Structure 1
């Protein structure tokens, strides 16, 4: 019974995560939701395919210890990619804000001289 409950919890969590990330992907550009969904689902299936190849290969070579190490390495790689993207987005927003402030200052100077 405990196994069935844990599988239910894992399935619920997985579906909740997919719904949340898919919603976020669709909201990136509301005018192009079909394209965003296509790209999102392509990467979902690509990730599943890569996992279906890497998991059994790791188990064959080193058993569950290597599967766990491989999963941990993939999680760390994902966190590094997320951190890099977050940093790049933050820098881009800061640059956009600085550009906006510079344009406003130039507009004020132009209005004052006319």
Structure 2
């Protein structure tokens, strides 16, 4: 994606690389959507309908935002601005993903530390009785 957007930024008249990468991105997006939807549904098996509703709401919200931003960028700056905008959105997504991953990792480490503390307390309680 970055290669295609870079080529569109540098020479927006040559759109072949951008078009080919968009095909590859669409194919990858379908695979990713199936995988992430499965993950969302498995987070709480008793609330799969609600999880799917929230997941699909954000999928459509993302599509709606893209449908507004893409044509506006093209109108203002042509393919070069569309490509720059796509790159900026990818970077923003990577930053959000990194922040969420860091938060999840810290939460798991805290859960593990809490679990170890509870087990130690249980052992002390059993030893004193």
Report the Cα distance in structure 2 between the residues aligned to 1:85 and 1:95, rounded to whole angstroms: 15
Report the Cα distance in structure 1 between the residues aligned to 2:72 and 2:51, rounded to whole angstroms: 32
Report the Cα distance in structure 2 between the residues aligned to 1:25 and 1:64, rounded to whole angstroms: 34
TM-score by length of 1: 0.89
Give the CA deviation at 1:14. 2.7
> What runs of 5+ residues in structure 1 fail to find an aligned partner?
none
Summarize the Cα distance change of 1:71–1:5 in structure 2 as closer, same or farther, 3 Å threshold.
Answer: closer
Give the CA deviation at 1:6. 7.9
Summarize the Cα distance change of 1:72–1:7 in structure 2 as closer, same or farther, 3 Å threshold.
Answer: closer
TM-score by length of 2: 0.79
Summarize the Cα distance change of 1:95–1:5 in structure 2 as closer, same or farther, 3 Å threshold.
Answer: closer
> Could you say which structure has the greater relative contact order, defined with CA pairs below 8 angstroms and 6 or more residues apart?
2
**1:38-72 deviations in Å (ceiling 9; x for gaps):** 00000000000000000000011111111011100
What is the CA RMSD across the aligned residues, in angstroms?
2.5
Summarize the Cα distance change of 1:43–1:61 in structure 2 as closer, same or farther, 3 Å threshold.
Answer: same
Report the counterpart of residue 105 of structure 2 in structure 1: 90
Name whichever of 3-12 and 43-52 sits farther off. Answer: 3-12
> What runs of 5+ residues in structure 2 fail to find an aligned partner?
1-15
